[in-house]
Amino acid sequence: MKTLIILNPSAAKGSALGLRDIIESEFKKNNMDYLLHISKSSDDILTTVKSNLKKDFSNFIAVGGDGTIHYVANALAGTDKKIGVIPAGSGNDIANCLGISPDVKKCCHIIHKGRIKKIDTGLINNKYYYLCVAGSGFDSQVNYLANNTRLPLKGPARYNYAVYKTLITFKPKKFSLNYDSKSRRLHGMMIAISNMASYGGGMKVTPDATPEDGLFDVCIIKKMSKMHFIKTFPKVYEGKHTSDKNVEIFRTSSIKIDSDYHFSVFADGEYICKLPATFEIIKENLNIIVPD
């Protein structure tokens, strides 16, 4: 069984590259047949994985953050190939949601054992797959700022900074939703369409979401004052924001979202498109290597 390792040298501000020697040592120790590729860009990740699908690689290992996993998964979704994860990003929400340790040696052991789970993926506009959470509105503005800040912040600190910075000028907007034969208009801050529980370095926006039930958990943060938001926001790290009267969560297998404002859509922390966008759950669409 041959393995292609895709290592993103830019993950975690460049520190992921330092894991190369440990990874190769563990793979050699377990007599695993592998090839390691240092990626140059997100397009390079997609191209490299796709160009090797018809070769004798069975496992494709993403070494990096949620974005790295996102692009490897986009090339593997709907195939019989398997994705493994060695989390080396600033947030690592996908790995955390799947119970995958940030310990590199433990990850290599998990990959060596090769226990497979079939999980659902989200699909945006019938083109872009994602594993964790897609969002639009306030959180997409936050994502943009978090991805582009030059401050030396990592994980939750980076997202917390982006949240409060964005809140200074952000104003709620009108959204339209179509799902389960329903059409709704509402004044809100953001909408998250989740296949897993958390994003943004541990924000449990949809604490009960699972990639094994064939449904999205959709979280709507409705219009609220900035002071109310500041009081409510810290609760998201424990998933306790859901009891707030301005927070609504429901489940559906597909939904279309639009807004009067031309919001971006981010998924797994990556820019995808502008609204409007259609989201569909694709059941058991990805083979992922997970712990016992």
Where do the structural domains in the chain lie, given as residue ranges? 2-114, 130-284
Residue 160 pLDDT level (bands cut at 50, 70, 90): confident
State the pLDDT confidence band at 91, using cuts at 50, 70 and 90. confident
Choice among 15-24, 95-104, 110-119, 125-134 with the minimum mean pLDDT = 15-24
Is 174 a residue whose pLDDT tops 90?
yes
pLDDT at 224: 93
* Residue 62 DSSP SS3: strand
Q: Is 50 helix (H, G, I), strand (E, B) or coil?
A: helix
CATH architecture of the domain covering 130-284: Sandwich (2.60)
- 90/48: higher pLDDT: 48
pTM of the model: 0.93
At 112, the pLDDT band (50, 70, 90 cuts) reads very high
CATH architecture of 2-114: 3-Layer(aba) Sandwich (3.40)
Residue 142: its pLDDT value, please?
A: 87
As to burial, measured by CB atoms within 10 angstroms (0-12 exposed, 13-18 middle, 19+ buried), residue 83 is buried
Question: Which letter, b or e, does each residue of 204-225 get, where b requires 16 or more Cβ atoms within 10 Å of its Cβ?
Answer: bbbbebbbeeebbbbbbbbebe
Tell me whether domains 2-114 and 130-284 share a fold. Answer: no
